[in-house]
A = this chain, B = another copy of it.
Amino acid sequence: MEIQQVEGSVVCTQRIPGLHHVNLRVLRDARGKRVVATDPVGARPGNWVFVVSGSAARYAMGDARILTDLTVGGIIDHWEPDT
């Protein structure tokens, strides 16, 4: 499960029904690329988190009808990123 840092949220007025009323976070991955993830744990900008991908990402939202492929799995209490 990848380790990424939360940057903020993203607004998408036009989206698929499977993602209505779902918070969309922007995370930056280890290679500096930004991605979008759903977030059932309430991470805040600056938090280091690990993310769950694939079919597990949908179950991680507590409802497999939420059509995500990347979900925040947990907030890491203390993390020293590689410099």
| Chain A residues near B (Cβ < 8 Å) | 1-3, 10-19, 24, 30-37, 40-43, 50, 52-60, 62, 65, 67-79, 82
Contacts and interface: CB of A to CB of B under 8 A. Distances in A.
Copies of this chain assembled into the complex: 5
Contacts of A69: 1, 52-54, 56-57
Contact of A67 (B2, B43, B52): B52
Contact of A41 (B14, B60, B72): B14
Given A18-B60, A33-B30, A34-B30, A12 B68 contact: no
Lowest 7 A-B CB distances belong to which pairs?
Answer: A15-B74, A12-B74, A36-B50, A1-B36, A14-B75, A11-B77, A56-B67
